[in-house]
Chains A and B, each alone.
Chain A
Amino acid sequence: MYSEITANKRKTWVLIAIFTVVVLVIGYAFGEYAGGGYGGLVAAAVISTVMALTSYFAGDKIALSSAGATPIQQSDNPYVYRLVENLAITAGLPMPKVYLINDPQINAFATGRDPKHASIAVTTGAIEKLENEELEGVIAHELSHVGNYDIRLMTVVIVLVGLVSLLSNWFIRVRWYGGGRGGRDRNERGNAGAILAVIGLVLLIVAPLIGKLIQLAVSRKREFLADASGSLLTRYPEGLARALEKIGAVNQQPMRSANAATAHLYIASPFGAAGKRMANLFSTHPPLEERIKALRGMAER
């Protein structure tokens, strides 16, 4: 558990470093193509700094607002609030902020940069459709994401992946329209420029894909881990197993705020049954059946 935390903190920094380099290279390639020289590089440096700071300090707010989550106090919904409170005490974590998402789908996510700045968001559907011990299982799952710093890594990923895909889209468009002039410039500057331009282009095509793959790698194993440590909190893996079964049955429609950049945050894919049609490899979540099986296996032991 504690080595998990160090690994997550390390991975967050590595991720920020890699993405900074990627953005810098893209900026450089952009400058080469558009003929702006070092302007592109400078712009990229500014963008990557802002991006890194934003992802670290405001990633949670971005995630919460894109999900349409509203904060609640104890008086608004004492049942949910106390459930979170009690599980936070059991986990030895400070009380996270609690948010509600107005959506009939059963889903929940946690975000923030560390346990002291953590938020847990639950859909109204989850509160209405899940029994006490099922909701407990779901919240314990989210709290274990909080406890082992998954939230920091996953929140940073949102902003980074989002920004890289935005930048490369942008770039491809500029290249498209300015294509003719860019070609002439490249010839004048010779081979070195051409090679760099090619590298840049390849990177541009690959970057969103890399981002996507990181998002997947970050998310899938984590869900199993959080299922397991969440069950340690409630001592009742069956609760979460039943909640996941209900999720499989109820979540046919995608969530209103379903969004590719934040999908990996949720306990179950916010795209609902539509998500199942995606190839297993590119899904941000392991199949529900596998998770339920793993949980039931725990209960038997």
Chain B
Amino acid sequence: MSTVVYVLLGIVAVVVLWLIFVYNGLIRLKNRVQEAWSDIEVQLKRRYDLIPNLIETVKGYATHERELFEKVTAARTAAMTSGTLAEKAKAENALSQTLKSLFAVSENYPQLRASENFAKLQDELSDTENKIQAARRFYNGMVRDFNTKIQVFPNNMIASSLGFKSQEFFDAEPEADQPVKVKF
């Protein structure tokens, strides 16, 4: 009788230890995902901060592009206030697009292109965009590690009851995946 009790107690102890081990491992990975996300936010914020300066500079030379300025400002606000991760990714992509058209328009203003301030802002902005890419890659790598950990057997049996859910990827621009359409 008592041997059975001991064996059962032993099994319970092993299971509890295993649960603690898995739980701690998942917490560690989840914190890494969160840390990676804050890295992205730092870079996104840097971009938000650069945009008003950019618009001010462009305004000085290209007075007729008010509509475009409004679009950029609106896209910036949308990106800053967007809630979920998918929305955020979409809003950020829209912002990148409007910025691209802003730079395309600026090609028509030679004086603007010659401005030192503008060149510096353009340089900073493209640097920030590279850094957003870099931070995004790190984040997605961390999300992949975390998701793999909670989806593999036997962790998948307990992960959801311990309150762990798959994390979302912060996706690359959807346009990048599509082939370029050529029209004649």
Residue of A at shortest CB range from B42?
A89
The A interface is mostly helix, strand or loop, or mixed, namely helix
B36 touches A92 (CB 8 A): yes
Residues of B within 8 A of A89 (CB): 39, 43, 131, 134-135, 138
A92 touches B130 (CB 8 A): no
Question: Does B137 sit within 8 A of A, measured CB to CB?
Answer: yes
Residues of B within 8 A of A87 (CB): 134
For the complex formed, measure the closest distance between the CB of B24 and the CB atoms of chain A, giving whole angstroms.
13
Give A82-103 interface residues, CB cut-off 8 Å to B.
82, 85-87, 89-92
Interchain Cβ contacts within 8 Å, total number: 25
In Å, the complex CA distance between A249 and B35 comes to 42
In Å, the complex CA distance between A85 and B130 comes to 10
Question: Does B54 sit within 8 A of A, measured CB to CB?
Answer: no
B137 touches A90 (CB 8 A): yes
Residue of B at shortest CB range from A92?
B138
Residue of B at shortest CB range from A83?
B130
In Å, the complex CA distance between A19 and B168 comes to 49
Give A78-129 interface residues, CB cut-off 8 Å to B.
82, 85-87, 89-92
In Å, the complex CA distance between A92 and B142 comes to 10
Closest 4 CB pairs of A and B: A89-B134, A90-B134, A92-B138, A86-B134
Pull 16 A–B residue pairs with CB atoms less than 8 Å apart, ordered by A.
Answer: A82-B127, A82-B130, A86-B131, A86-B134, A87-B134, A89-B39, A89-B131, A89-B135, A89-B138, A90-B134, A90-B135, A90-B137, A91-B138, A92-B32, A92-B35, A92-B138
